[in-house]
């Protein structure tokens, strides 16, 4: 079998997505997500201009060889654009392989290690009462694990507080919006928020919180310690993770479990974090960390060190990535949890899929391949719209991590 054709589809059914489609001489095709929020066209060009010409004539069954060919063969390694492009090719090749053999991709990955995949949803509100109402609605929807984010009194626009109801979309059409930040106000507020959440909902639900890279290690240590009485499932992205050894400081001070990795692209970004057992959950995503093949290597390293997976699953990762993540999650032994920020109805219509949600858990379905498709005619009705993630500044105007 040979790859004879391929193209990139950029569409905006409520938000931008980049999708790679590879077609074989037997008529089978596979798809992969290549969406990099706010930098979508860079990956589209990388694929169209530099990668697609290399794939024509290749055997789609040579998944690992193609990965190595694109990674080592480019000479220029790593980075989000390169790795999203390689991730899209890898995902599409697993899809083709599953369809060719007539089995769901998880069967090719060793079969199911569990019956279904625990997911967490996103409760957010402009203040504590609003957030508590959102948590209640997620509990009613059957979620067992819920990420809790709330507006911080005194700050306009906080990470994780969405524009819509039960929905969170940070990218804005046009130029990047700016938000304001105060570490002091945030650190005073978050323990109060979780004290209220636990007192209203009791010990049972699993609660998560995302700091979104905004603290220094010692500030993160203080927050982790203050949150210990509320037994978080995890505290996410407590610090910007370029400095892996910075996590030692957090770890020395708190038993709150730590998660990180949604912006990582390779195993090299988390090697020290995993080997020194500085984290509990690794959040690398299929789309941004080189596809299913590379994620399995990260999971295997993590398994040795009691680190579990917790794949990123925000709305800016398309349903193609979501499907691929669910096949990975179902099969990998050291799975922890999967993020599930539900997509809009428009997005779901453009990407029909087999995956299902029931009582706080998901299943990828049993269709051959990934069990997800793209309706290209419908996608064409939603052309790309330039959009950016916000930029964050401290109250004195200094640029801060968003």
Residue 229: DSSP 8-state: G
The residues of the shown chain that bind ligand KDG, judged by CB under 6 A, are: 37, 170, 210, 212, 262, 312, 314, 316, 339, 389
**Rounded to whole angstroms, how far apart are CA atoms 299 and 307?**
8
Identify which range of 103-111, 213-221, 259-267, 297-305 contacts Mg ion by CB under 5 A: 259-267
Sort 391 into a burial class: Cβ within 10 Å, 0-12 / 13-18 / 19+.
middle
Residue 363 CB neighbours (<10 A): 21
The residue among 58 and 212 lying less far from ligand KDG, judged by its C-beta, is 212
* 281 labelled catalytic: no
Q: Which two tokens stand for residue 171?
A: 């990218």
Backbone angles phi, psi at 177, to 5 degrees: -70, 160
Closest to Mg ion by CB, 90 vs 236, is 236
Q: Which is nearer to Mg ion, 90 or 262 (CB)?
A: 262
Q: How far is the CB of 312 from ligand KDG (least distance, A)?
A: 6
Q: Using the minimum distance from each CB to Mg ion, give the nearer residue, 51 or 282.
A: 282
- By a kind-dependent CB cut-off of 5 to 8 A, residue 15 interacts, out of Mg ion, ligand KDG, none, with none
CB closer to ligand KDG, 67 vs 143: 143
Q: What is the 3-state secondary structure (H, E, C) of 341-370?
A: CCCCHHHHHHCCECCEEECCEEECCCCCEC
Quick one: 100 exposed, middle or buried, by C-beta within 10 A (0-12, 13-18, 19+)? Answer: middle
The CA angle 238-277-109, to the nearest 5 degrees, is 95
How near is the Cβ of 4 to ligand KDG at its closest, in Å? 34
Helix (H), strand (E) at residue 129: helix 128-140
Least Å distance between CB 348 and ligand KDG? Answer: 18
For residue 314, the partner it binds in Mg ion, ligand KDG, none, with Cβ less than 5 to 8 A by kind, is ligand KDG
Considering the complex, state which of residue 210 and residue 329 has its C-beta at the smaller distance from Mg ion: 210
Contact 40, 32 (CB under 8 A): no
Q: Identify which range of 83-91, 210-218, 246-254, 357-365 contacts Mg ion by CB under 5 A.
A: 210-218
Beta bridge partners of 24: 3
Report the partner that residue 316 touches, choosing among ligand KDG, Mg ion, none (CB closer than 5 to 8 A by kind): ligand KDG
The catalytic residue among 212, 294, 327, 363 is 212
| 3 state SS of 155 | coil
Q: Which does 170 bind (CB under 5 to 8 A by kind): ligand KDG, Mg ion, none?
A: ligand KDG
Residue 16 beta carbon to ligand KDG: minimum distance, rounded to whole angstroms? 11
Least distance from ligand KDG to the Cβ atom of residue 202, Å: 25
Stretch in the footprint of Mg ion (CB under 5 A) among 18-26, 98-106, 208-216, 366-374: 208-216
Q: How far apart are CA 361 and CA 373, in angstroms?
A: 22
**DSSP secondary structure, 295-338, as one string:** HHHHHHHHHHTT-EE-----TTS-HHHHHHHHHHHHH-TTB--E
Residue 149 CB, shortest distance to Mg ion, in Å, is 10
Q: How far apart are CA 94 and CA 107, in angstroms?
A: 11
339 binds Mg ion (CB under 5 A): no
What letter would DSSP give residue 104? B
DSSP 160: T
**Element of type H or E holding 120:** strand 117-125
132 binds, options ligand KDG, Mg ion, none, Cβ within 5 to 8 A by partner type: none
211 closest CA partner among 236, 178, 188, 233: 236
Nearest one of 92, 106, 119 to 373, comparing CA atoms:
92
Smallest separation, CB 210 to ligand KDG (Å): 5
Select from 33, 90, 210, 219 the one that contacts Mg ion (CB under 5 A): 210
Identity of the residue, 212 or 251, whose beta carbon is nearer to ligand KDG in the bound complex: 212
159 belongs to the catalytic site: yes
Could you say which of ligand KDG, Mg ion, none residue 353 binds, taking C-beta under 5 to 8 angstroms by partner kind?
Answer: none
If contact means CB under 5 to 8 A according to the sort of partner, which of ligand KDG, Mg ion, none does residue 391 touch? none
- State the minimum distance, in angstroms, from the CB of residue 350 to ligand KDG: 19
User: Out of ligand KDG, Mg ion, none, which partner does residue 339 contact, by CB within 5 to 8 A per kind?
Assistant: ligand KDG
Catalytic residue among 106, 159, 281, 355: 159
Q: Give the integer Cα–Cα distance in Å for 273 and 246.
A: 9
Q: Which residue is closest to Mg ion by CB?
A: 210
Residue numbers of the site for Mg ion (CB under 5 A)? 210, 262
Among all residues, which ones are annotated catalytic? 159, 212
């Amino acid at each position: 079998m040979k790859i004879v054709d391929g193209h990139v589809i950029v569409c905006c059914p409520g938000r931008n997505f980049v999708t790679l489609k590879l077609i074989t001489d037997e008529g089978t095709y596979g798809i992969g997500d290549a969406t990099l929020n706010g930098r979508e066209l860079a990956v589209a060009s990388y694929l169209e201009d530099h990668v697609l010409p290399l794939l024509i004539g290749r055997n789609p069954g040579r998944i690992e060889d193609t990965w190595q060919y694109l990674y080592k063969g480019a000479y220029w390694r790593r980075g989000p654009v390169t790795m999203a492009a390689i991730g899209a090719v890898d995902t599409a090749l697993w899809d083709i392989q599953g369809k060719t053999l007539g089995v769901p991709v998880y069967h090719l990955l060793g079969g199911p290690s569990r019956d279904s995949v625990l997911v967490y949803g996103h409760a957010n509100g402009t203040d504590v009462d609003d957030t508590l109402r959102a948590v209640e609605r997620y509990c009613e929807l059957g979620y067992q694990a819920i990420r809790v984010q709330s507006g911080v009194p005194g700050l306009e626009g906080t990470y994780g507080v969405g524009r819509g109801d039960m929905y969170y979309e940070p990218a804005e059409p046009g130029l990047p919006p700016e938000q304001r930040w105060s570490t002091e106000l945030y650190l005073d507020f978050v323990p109060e928020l979780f004290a209220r959440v636990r007192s209203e909902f009791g010990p049972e639900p699993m609660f998560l919180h995302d700091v979104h890279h905004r603290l220094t290690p010692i500030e993160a240590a203080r927050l982790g310690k203050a949150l210990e009485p509320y037994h978080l499932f995890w505290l996410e992205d407590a610090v910007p993770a370029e400095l892996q050894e910075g996590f030692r400081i957090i770890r020395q001070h708190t038993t709150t479990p730590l998660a990180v990795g949604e912006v990582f692209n390779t195993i090299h970004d988390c090697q020290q974090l995993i080997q020194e057992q500085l984290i509990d959950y690794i959040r690398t995503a299929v789309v941004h960390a080189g596809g299913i093949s590379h994620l399995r290597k990260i999971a295997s390293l993590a398994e040795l060190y009691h680190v579990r997976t917790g794949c990123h699953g925000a709305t800016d990762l398309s349903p193609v990535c979501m499907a691929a993540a669910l096949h990975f999650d179902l099969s990998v032994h050291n799975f922890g949890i999967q993020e599930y920020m539900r997509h809009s109805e428009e997005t779901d219509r453009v990407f029909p899929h087999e995956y299902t949600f029931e009582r706080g858990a998901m299943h990828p379905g049993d269709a051959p391949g990934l069990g997800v498709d793209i309706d290209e005619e419908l996608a064409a009705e939603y052309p790309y719209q330039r959009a950016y993630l916000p930029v964050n500044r401290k109250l004195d105007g200094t640029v801060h991590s968003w």
